[in-house]
Amino acid sequence: MEISDILMLLTPIGAVLALGFAVYNGMKVMKYPEGSAQVQSISEKIRKGANAFLRRQYTVVAVFFALMLVVLCVMAGFGFLTWFVPFAFVTGGFFSGLSGFVGMKLATYANSRTATASKESLNKGLRVAFSAGSVMGFTVVGLGLFDLAIWYYLLHYVFGRGIAETTAAMLTFGMGASCMALFARVGGGIFTKAADVGADLVGKVEAGIPEDDPRNPAVIADNVGDNVGDVAGMGADLYESYVGAIVASCALGVAAFPQFNATQGSPAVTIPMAMAGIGVIITIIGSFLIRTKENATQKALLAALRRGTNFSAFAIAILAFPLVKVMLPDNIGVYGAVLSGLFAGVGIAFFTEYYTSDNYKPTRDLAESTKTGSATLIIGGLSLGMLSTAIPLLIVCASILVSYFVAGGAGNPALGLYGIGISAVGMLSTLGLTLANDSYGPVADNAGGIAEMAGLEPEVRKRTDALDSLGNTTAAVGKGFCIGAGALTALALIAAYIDRVAVLTVTALENAITKVTNMDVATLRENLNLASLTVNEQVAALREHAEIVGAEISRAATFNFNLAIDTPTVLVGLFIGGMLPFVFTALTMKSVGRAAQKIVVEVRRQFREIKGLMEGTAEADYATCVDLCTRSALREMVLPTILAIASPIATGLILGPNGVVGLLIGCTVSGFMMAIMTANSGGAWDNAKKYIEAGHHGGKGSDAHKAAVVGDTVGDPLKDTCGPSIDILLKLSSMVSIVFAALVLSFHFLQ
Amino acid sequence: MEISDILMLLTPIGAVLALGFAVYNGMKVMKYPEGSAQVQSISEKIRKGANAFLRRQYTVVAVFFALMLVVLCVMAGFGFLTWFVPFAFVTGGFFSGLSGFVGMKLATYANSRTATASKESLNKGLRVAFSAGSVMGFTVVGLGLFDLAIWYYLLHYVFGRGIAETTAAMLTFGMGASCMALFARVGGGIFTKAADVGADLVGKVEAGIPEDDPRNPAVIADNVGDNVGDVAGMGADLYESYVGAIVASCALGVAAFPQFNATQGSPAVTIPMAMAGIGVIITIIGSFLIRTKENATQKALLAALRRGTNFSAFAIAILAFPLVKVMLPDNIGVYGAVLSGLFAGVGIAFFTEYYTSDNYKPTRDLAESTKTGSATLIIGGLSLGMLSTAIPLLIVCASILVSYFVAGGAGNPALGLYGIGISAVGMLSTLGLTLANDSYGPVADNAGGIAEMAGLEPEVRKRTDALDSLGNTTAAVGKGFCIGAGALTALALIAAYIDRVAVLTVTALENAITKVTNMDVATLRENLNLASLTVNEQVAALREHAEIVGAEISRAATFNFNLAIDTPTVLVGLFIGGMLPFVFTALTMKSVGRAAQKIVVEVRRQFREIKGLMEGTAEADYATCVDLCTRSALREMVLPTILAIASPIATGLILGPNGVVGLLIGCTVSGFMMAIMTANSGGAWDNAKKYIEAGHHGGKGSDAHKAAVVGDTVGDPLKDTCGPSIDILLKLSSMVSIVFAALVLSFHFLQ
């Protein structure tokens, strides 16, 4: 066994450890008592609603996957894809969906237990909620590494394929994961925000009853939403981010080190895979560092969480060095790319916290602007979000330049692009822990809801509120982190797309030549000594040879990349790509608005028609609201997903691959802006409201508070439906382009 | 005299006719009676406030221009610029400012006359307001053509310069005009919206008094704002758009037809200049077609306006054919570019009307969403704005592709880029009339304010409201039009930038060679036969020669364009450029918010401290509010302008010209989105409010109306401050890049 094979084992080992740690945490959660009969009954209602939604959602998604499977099989039949691709696509979708399902399942058991544990102490509550978050975090990374390992070893050992074909197939399961993630995020996001906005609009604003009041008919739907949107949706989403970054780096590694293409493994592939495995081991250790004293302050809680992530980032920074040194001793600059990714992650996290936490000036100023009403609050929040894009963007730009140049991009662009991919992997290597921090928030939120509905002592609600508020900040930080990594991953995928098109052009040329010369491809490649050349060099050599032998050139074989930004196809692609996140945000916002209005109508109807509801003598019809949300979410999630998949294909068929590259980059640029803006505007509005509720500017019930509720309501769909979905959109459109590259290459109209 | 010289005379003839027509309209306005003493006194207060603001604003701007003049002179002294540039810069700024000043001056005389004429009939009111708008429209195009003609003839006949140097100098006065425009739009925009928002927040929302009530201390400031923002700001802005499109096309014409470089004129320059002259003549005729019957409906009014613009577009479409046929008989495809521009303008105008007029579904749905409160209205308006970017964007993309390819871009990219420039000129050739339609709105708005304050009969207010509402739609259409043309102009300017850098590289190489060979530049150019080559070919030939003679190559001479979109400098430039409109919007919004809050505090103070104000027995202290707005606007307009100027220079020094091109294109893409989104969201909110005020969903004073006021208040800064300023930002950053190209080329860090 070579050292490379041993290091590669870190991937399956990481997968097993992560899944084991998830089970360990799950058992820890289940050991806690669930609480009183009333708590149990409420929790069961939420669980049932969440399960019902997921079942129906996954049914719709299954139909979509079946259709896509047929499309991909037909394409494989015509030779546009290898036969691995359709099945890789399905497994990606399956594991992504499974990540969401497992996380959500546990969250719906953990909510009541967190509420009950919070009766004892804040620390106990934190432990249960954080354990539930850890189940999610480590399920995502565990299943991700598991899927990666399966496909790698399967193609490598069972089918004996070369590393290039292996990484190409792995990119496709990234596409499956992205499709599933988009459905989960958009569907779950519409569900949760329609319920939340609808419940608030009638409950808080019109009827004047507090949040999570059991008299509100939409209250169970609201709590179900936390689980299906903020937990299941996020799980599928982050599975996609994690796997996407790794497979993109692998593909770029293959392109950057063509000397390994003839062999079955490549050190450039081992690095991201092994680094992900190391990340799992480190973050498991890191999560044991998260402990607080009994009755710790919120600041101490945040410090405890930070201790865990900082340790992990630091440890990975150290361990990545020997990994790169052993695998790519002549390209130690790649280590610099890892560092730049880790630093960028820390930087983005800090500035997200700065812009959205009420410990800092921006959110406090925003809270202050409620004094002049909701209009100035909206103006302030929008401008805060727009302004907050600047620093994360500059950090990502610095990360692009540093990782490109330290990895050797000045001499060989392919190395530089590999560096960008590796920096994304570096940023996401602590994901297990980041995600655990990120996803205990909704559990705490749910626990608070249950405490309110079950009429537990006010002290319990206060504790769950403290956890929830902390969760708001960690969630915003997690989002900033994911968007940063998402932009880098998207760029890596775009580079992979360019490489893929070049490889397809090579294949088309090879076929054209072998047709007239009756030579087999292997001999041709050997004669021209192609194995040692980069793809672009291969295209040049083959084109020359094709002319000599008089081969008939197909449409695909004539394609030339002309990526100059002032080429009209690239330029128009850029414009169209720049538009996509705007239209996508508009569609998802409108969906939430429409669905919320239905909830409003239904809640008003119940208040009007159910006698004794406001007095607390009759029970609300929770199930109808859950059902309304479910139906709206399922109906509304289809159009945005189709838009995301169809746009790059349609653009490709008209403008050709040059236009597609323009589209993908345009989409990444404006999507990055929109994702950060929506996340931070929404987060700041939410926390400005919480800041006022904590007693500032007149506290709950004041005019300032009423204005703040408007801001929070506007921000809800922005931060929890639109923003996270855009992040997926960026990567999905790249992956779709890669999978459909052969089709587009054969049938494009303009060049 | 050749035919080309005769056609070129259309420019000065157009200038004289336009200015004459403006004077004629101005005299028509002044002939109307001003009205009662009270009307006169109110109008005088507004006039005084507006004059005072403009005087103080122009003083600040003069200081800025003086500083820039010094900077440019120093650069000229070091040989980075020709000595014409600093003075061209100043004249551009001067005429742009003058356009705004003349238009505003007349608007402040026309407001009282419109109010008085509306006492007689709607048609009379329309005539006065429209005549005032025509003064503005034709002053802008007249001064624009005048400035163009002066510089063209001066450089041509007096200094005997070649066409390349002439167009280069003309680009600089575009930069002067853009700087002035940005100050005027940002400063005026902050003034008007701070006053408007401030007056509404306290007056309408808190005190419950109607709009334009004389008891509101901010009411005069609000009316002053209409004049300094919506009239003077718009005048300077459109002067910039108009001149920018023409000079960009001229510069691209020079690049596309190098065979004329040795001569003093070029048919490719004659076409845009003469077409602008023809446009003036046609639109003067068109404006006589705008007549309505006594007591016409709003629909008939709109139809009358449309008749004028449609006639003009049609006539220009016909007359452009012989112009192109005579000037460029071998490139008749350029005529297709004119048509594509005209069509795109009409298309964008229609869809802007669709999204923002309450005759159509989107705005009606938006009005309906007020039923569930201001939060759903804000969500709805934001998503409407985002969605409305799609069609205008696709129209612009189609226009780019069509004008590029019909002009011959497939064979020669320079021809294609010239086509894009010409399509922008085509779109803007009807500007005189569009602008007249656009700028009578604020006059009507002011007239309504005066009618209210002077206590004229309610019938008068109703008539001015009808005019104002119509003005809202024509203003939104005008904005859509300008943004579309702005995007095309920005692209043309970017192409001009690329060409400029290439020309500078040629010069640097020539200097390096002549230094070692002791040959003069003319001989060198003749020896290498450079005159007949494109710039890129010249660079190649010179570089080869430089190696042969062993010339020492400076930093500027080594530069190579590598505009591939996956080059890290281009990519990072794209990201930074994509961010600029977000940050710019954030800054201007924040400025309005801050200034408005000051007004709120002051108005509240006056209501509290001035006894008898609410009862109408004491007069408010209007002057303090005007002064507050003035100071805020002047202070807040500086930072955004500096950002716009400094960003491309700083980016250029770090990333080099490749990064600058990325920045400019990124800025154009995301700026286009933001400009359309802000304009349409704002317009739709405004009209949704008007729709409710017309009696729908409960009418004035209902909860729906209260929610609608919030939407309108949020939309105000978006549509009247941020959006129009972004449109200028796009072009200003390109022009700054062009002017500072030599500096950046000599001192850039990365490539």
Mean pLDDT across chain B, nearest whole number? 89
Close Cβ partners of A302 (under 8 Å, ≥ 6 residues apart): A470, A473, A474
pLDDT at B383 over 90: yes
Residue A495 parent element (H or E): helix A458-517
Distance from CA of B10 to the nearest CA of A (A): 32
Flag whether pLDDT at B388 surpasses 80: yes
pLDDT in the model for residue A296: 66
pTM: 0.93
Residue B294: its pLDDT value, please?
A: 64
Which one of B491, B575, B647, B680 makes the best mutation probe of the A interface by having the most chain A beta carbons within 10 Å? B575
The answer to whether residue B381 neighbours chain A at the CB level (below 8 Å) is no
Q: Which two tokens stand for residue A557?
A: 């074989």
Dist CA A498 CA A660 (whole Å): 10
Listing DSSP states for B433-488 in one string gives HHHHHHHHHHHHHHHHHHHHHTT--HHHHHHHHHHHHHHHHHHHHHHHHHHHHHHH
Choice between B748 and B657, residue whose per-residue pLDDT is larger? B657
Q: For an interface test with A, which of B376, B605, B749 has the most A Cβ atoms less than 10 Å from its Cβ? A: B376
- In chain A, residues with a C-beta closer than 8 Å to the C-beta of B572 are 397, 400-401
Residue B262 has what pLDDT?
64
- Condensed to tens digits (0 to 9), the pLDDT of residues B587-619 reads 999 999 888 888 988 988 898 888 888 887 888
- Assess whether pLDDT exceeds 70 at residue B34: yes
Partner-chain contact B669 A665, CB within 8 Å: no
pLDDT tens, B37-58? 989 989 998 999 899 888 999 9
Contact A565 B568 (CB under 8 A): no
Residue A573 pLDDT greater than 90, yes or no = yes
| pLDDT, average across residues B448-459 | 87
What distance, in Å, lies between the first and last C-alpha atoms of chain A? 48
* Residue A379, both tokens: 């103006």
pLDDT at A264: 66
What sign has the CA pseudo-torsion A229, A232, A238, A244?
Answer: negative
In angstroms, the first-to-last Cα distance of chain B is 48
Nearest alpha-carbon partner for A567 in B487, B565, B663, B426: B565
Residues in chain B within 8 Å Cβ distance of A574:
565, 574, 665, 669
As a whole number of angstroms, the distance between CA A674 and CA A717 comes to 13
Cα of A208 to nearest chain B Cα, Å: 14
Give the chain A residue whose CA is nearest to the CA of B600.
Answer: A372
User: Is the Cβ of A315 closer than 8 Å to some Cβ of chain B?
Assistant: no
Kindly indicate the confidence band of residue A586, based on its pLDDT and cuts at 50, 70 and 90: very high
Query: Which DSSP string do the residues of A365-419 spell out, in sequence order?
Result: HHHHGGGG-HHHHHHHHHHHHHHTTHHHHHHHHHHHHHHHHHTTTTT-HHHHHHH
In chain A, residues with a C-beta closer than 8 Å to the C-beta of B583 are 386-387, 389-390
pLDDT-derived band at B417, boundaries 50, 70, 90: very high
Is the pLDDT at A30 greater than 90? The verdict is yes
d(CA B514, CA B522): 10
Measured between CA atoms, how close is A159 to chain B, in angstroms? 34
**Shortest alpha-carbon distance between residue B246 and chain A (Å):** 20
Pick from B201, B361, B370, B386 the residue to mutate for testing the A interface (most A CBs within 10 Å).
B386
Q: Return the closest-CA partner of residue B629 out of B163, B167, B54.
A: B54
DSSP B122-184: HHHHHHHHHHHHHHHHHHHHHHHHHHHHHHHHIIIIIS---HHHHHHHHHHHHHHHHHHHHHH
Rounded to an integer, the average pLDDT of B262-282 is: 88
pLDDT on residue A537: 84
Q: Which of A371-380, B346-355, B670-679 has the highest mean pLDDT?
A: B670-679
- Cα of B70 to nearest chain A Cα, Å: 31
Break chain B down into helix, strand, coil percent, rounded to 5.
85, 0, 15
Nearest-angstrom CA–CA distance, A562 and A569: 9
| Amino acid sitting at position A562 | N
Evaluate if residue B211 carries a pLDDT over 80. Answer: no
A582 touches chain B (CB under 8 A): yes
Letter for the amino acid at B526? E
Nearest Cα neighbor of B84 from B144, B150, B151 is B151
A533 near B CB under 8 A: no
For residues B737 and B633, give the distance between their C-alpha atoms in angstroms, rounded to a whole number: 27
| d(CA A181, nearest CA chain B) in Å | 23
Tokens of A478: 């997690």
Residue B216 has pLDDT above 90, yes or no: no
Q: Which residues of A touch B369 (CB under 8 A)?
A: 593, 597
Inform me whether the pLDDT recorded for B751 exceeds 80. no
**Does residue A205 belong to the interface with chain B, where contact is any CB pair within 8 Å?**
yes
* Percent of chain B at pLDDT exceeding 70: 98
Tokens of A449: 């809801």
Provide, rounded to the nearest whole percent, the portion of chain B with pLDDT above 90: 41
Instruction: Assess contact for A590 and B380: CB atoms under 8 A.
Output: yes
Proportion of chain A above pLDDT 70, given as a percent: 98
Q: Which residue of chain A is at minimal alpha-carbon distance from B659?
A: A565
Contact B3/A at CB under 8 A: no
Choose from A368, A571, A584 for mutation: most chain B CBs within 10 A. A571
Give the residue-averaged pLDDT of A76-103. 90
- pLDDT, one tens digit per residue, over A330-378 is 999 999 999 999 999 888 988 988 998 888 999 999 999 888 889 989 9
User: Out of B494, B673, B710, whose CB is closest to A670?
Assistant: B673
Q: What is d(CA B694, CA A146) in angstroms, rounded to the nearest whole number?
A: 63
> Which residue, among B307, B318, B244, B241, has the nearest Cα to B278 in the 3D structure?
B318
- Of the candidates A63, A183, A100, the one whose C-alpha atom is nearest the C-alpha of residue A636 is A183
Question: Are the C-beta atoms of A721 and A191 separated by less than 8 Å?
Answer: no
B383 in A contact zone (CB under 8 Å): yes
Q: Which residues in chain B have their CB less than 8 angstroms from residue A575's CB?
A: 393, 396-397, 400, 669, 672
Interface test with B, best of A196, A370, A565 (most B CBs within 10 A): A565
Mean pLDDT of A318-323: 95
Closest-CA distance, B337 to chain A, in angstroms, reads 14
Per-residue confidence (pLDDT) for residue B263, from 0 to 100: 67
What ipTM does the predicted assembly reach? 0.92
- CA atoms of A407 and A399, how far apart (whole Å): 12
Nearest-CB residue to B669 (from A396, A567, A670):
A670
pLDDT at B324: 94
Per-window interface: B 430-489 vs A, CB < 8 A: none
Q: Cα distance from A147 to chain B (closest Cα, Å)?
A: 30
pLDDT at A140 over 80: yes
Contacts of B340 (CB under 8 A, 6+ apart): B398, B399, B402, B403, B406, B423, B426
Higher pLDDT: A24 or B262? It is: A24
Average pLDDT over residues B316-327: 94
pLDDT of residue A293 exceeding 90, the answer is no
Q: Could you tell me if B401 lies within 8 Å of chain A, comparing CB atoms? A: yes
pLDDT digits (tens, 9 = 90+) for B277-309: 999 999 999 888 877 676 666 677 778 778 888
pLDDT at A660 over 90: yes
Outline where B357-430 has alpha helix (H). Answer: 361-368, 374-387, 390-406, 413-428
Which site among A383, A396, A712 would you substitute to test the B interface, given the most B Cβ atoms closer than 10 Å to its Cβ?
A: A383
Residue of A564, A578, A589 with shortest CB distance to B669: A578
- Which residues of chain B are within 8 Å of residue A372 when distances are taken between CB atoms? 201, 596-597, 600
The answer to whether residue B339 scores a pLDDT higher than 90 is: yes
Contacts of B578 in chain A (CB under 8 A): 393, 578, 669-670, 672-673
Chain B, window 493-512: residues with a beta carbon less than 8 angstroms from a chain A beta carbon: 494-495, 498
pLDDT of B166 above 70: yes
Residue in A387, A416, A672 closest to B586 by CB: A387
Q: What is the pLDDT of residues A172-188, one digit of tens each?
A: 888 899 999 999 989 99
- Decide if A255 touches B, using CB distance below 8 A: no
Q: Are B428 and B241 spatial neighbours (Cβ–Cβ below 8 Å)?
A: yes
The rounded distance, in Å, linking the Cα atoms of A601 and A346 is: 44
Confidence at residue A327, expressed as pLDDT on a 0 to 100 scale: 92
Torsion of the alpha carbons at B114, B115, B119 and B123, rounded to the nearest 10:
30
**Angle formed at CA B281 by CA B278 and CA B286, multiple of 5 degrees:** 120
**Which residues are registered as beta bridge partners of B564?**
A564
CB pairs under 8 A between A and B: 234
Residue A30 in contact with partner chain B when CB distance is under 8 A: no
Q: How confident is the model at residue A109 (pLDDT cuts 50, 70, 90)?
A: very high
CA A224 remoteness from chain centre: 21
Read off the pLDDT band of A317 (50, 70, 90): very high
pLDDT digit string, tens, across residues B67-112:
999 999 999 998 888 888 898 999 999 999 999 899 899 999 999 9
HEC assignment per residue over A61-120: HHHHHHHHHHHHHHHHHCCCCCCHHHHHHHHHHHHHHHHHHHHHHHHHHHHHHHHHHHHH
Distances (CA, A) of A483 to A70, A476, A678: 32, 11, 11
Decide if A386 and B586 are in contact by the 8 Å CB cutoff. Answer: yes
Q: Are B561 and B543 in contact (CB under 8 A)?
A: no
The chain-wide mean pLDDT, for chain A, equals 89
Q: What's the full length of chain B, in residues?
A: 751
C-alpha distance from residue B101 to each of B51, B66, B130, B474 (Å): 9, 19, 18, 22
Task: Sort out which chain A residues have CB atoms less than 8 A from B661's CB and list them.
Answer: 565-566
